[in-house]
Structure 1
Amino acid sequence: MKTRHLSVSLAAACIVLTMPAFAADNAQDFVDKAAVGGKFEVDSSQIALSKTQDQSVKDFAQMMIRDHGAANSKLETVAGEQKLKVPPALDAQHQGDLDKLKSAQAPIDPAYVDMQRKAHADAVKLFESYASSGDNAALKTFAQQTVGTLKTHQQMIEKIAAGQDAVTGATTPAVKTDNTPNAAALVPGANSFTEVQAKSRIEDAGYSNVSKLTKDDQGIWRGQASKAGENLDVGLDYQGNVVATGK
């Protein structure tokens, strides 16, 4: 996989990647989400640097640390000028995700990349909304200047994810007409995917009606799903591989 870099000039565009997928109610709400997202990106990427294997993932994490450090300072300055408060700590949801990364056994590449994919999708929605109808002129201009680069970041993480899937076979479910499994096997190991993330990953691989997910003693999420009219037993390992067999 090729290493990808973004210049420091993107710093101001990276203030938030981890946002709920809804519009900010007002200027303070936007600052809250942006500040929490920016801090989470720095903190989670610092963890990723020491617990990921793929060089492009490490490069992406380093970019997040560099760019978000500068961008968080920029946001603090703008918020101060607008008499708005910057939250000093993560909210419960983000702190929970950060704690999971801290406690997960390396490598955490799939979990970190999956987290960034979802975060970028939410961030683009948030910034597009505020850029269009924000209630604070300074922050609205900032959102307008930022959303284009957030989309560039989104494209970058999607390419990294696609490259991982090409290596692990995660986007090629092991379903054959004779209901025998693919040669690719699920790999035992400490799995940092949450149940929600596991379900989403399986759905991304083309399955629907994912249910009854439980993690076994090998760290593999196992459950049931359907595809092309078949009811299947499906599994997800810590590398992000999705394998299914006919029932």
Structure 2
Amino acid sequence: MKSKTTSLFSASTLALCAAMLFTSNGSAAPKDTLDAADVKFVKTEVAAGNAELKIAELGVQKAERADVKAFAEMLVKDHTQANKELNALATEKGVEVSAVMSPKHAEEFQKLEKATKADFDKEFLSEMVSAHKKCVSNFEEAAKDAKNSDLKAWAEKMLPALKAHLAQAKELAAK
């Protein structure tokens, strides 16, 4: 009799725990996730932001002109902060991102790393103009079309700085 009661109690406890587990998952507020386009934007811009940071750090080391070196230093500061914010947003929204540089970005980094002192500033600025044009375009699209309000607001917040980076890169490249 005692083992039958113990078995019945164990089964009841197990059933109650299972019911509580399913009920708590079913009644919990849904996690604020991103749609496929928003996830793609986050992943693309995390990769681009990480690459721009590494390239800017290289610019700090290799730039010959003082104005190019100062620009690279500003990029390091701004992109470090932007990358922190975007990574935090990705984590909050459940988006897994990679810290590994994409092959395309790695190729550009290696090209700049191998550039001679005479050519580095020109090639660095060319890359910054190209990268920031694409970045501004992506951020304008996200600021307009992102489905997630947090992501949309973040993209809108970042646009003025990115446009300023692009304008400054163009100005320096024209010298």
Classify the TM-score, shorter chain.
Answer: 0.7 to 0.9
Matched, 1:27 2:43: no
Which residue identity lines up with residue 39 of structure 1 in the other structure? N
- Paired residues of 2:50 and 2:99 also in contact (CA < 8 A): no
Which residue identity lines up with residue 72 of structure 1 in the other structure? N
- Paired residues of 2:132 and 2:166 also in contact (CA < 8 A): yes
Paired positions, count? 139
Tell me the distance in 2 between the aligned counterparts of 1:79 and 1:156: 29
Q: Deviations over 1:156-175 (max 9, x none)?
A: 11111122xxxxxxxxxxxx
Tell me the distance in 1 between the aligned counterparts of 2:113 and 2:75: 17
What does 1:33-182 align with in structure 2 at a 5 Å threshold? Answer: 33-107=44-118, 108-163=120-175
Look up the SS of the partner of 1:26 in the other structure. Answer: helix
* Structure 2: tracts of 5 or more residues without a match: 1-35
- Paired residues of 1:28 and 1:85 also in contact (CA < 8 A): no
- Paired residues of 2:58 and 2:113 also in contact (CA < 8 A): yes
Shift of 1:102: 1.5
CA radius of gyration, larger in: 2
How large is the Cα RMSD of the aligned pairs?
A: 1.3
* Structure 1: tracts of 5 or more residues without a match: 1-24, 164-247
Shift of 1:148: 2.2
Look up the SS of the partner of 2:117 in the other structure. Answer: coil
Look up the SS of the partner of 2:110 in the other structure. Answer: helix
Shift of 1:149: 2.2
Tell me the distance in 2 between the aligned counterparts of 1:105 and 1:56: 18
Greater strand proportion? 1
Tell me the distance in 2 between the aligned counterparts of 1:148 and 1:101: 27
Moved over 4 A (4+): none
Identity %: 27
Which residue identity lines up with residue 153 of structure 1 in the other structure? H
Tell me the distance in 2 between the aligned counterparts of 1:103 and 1:156: 24
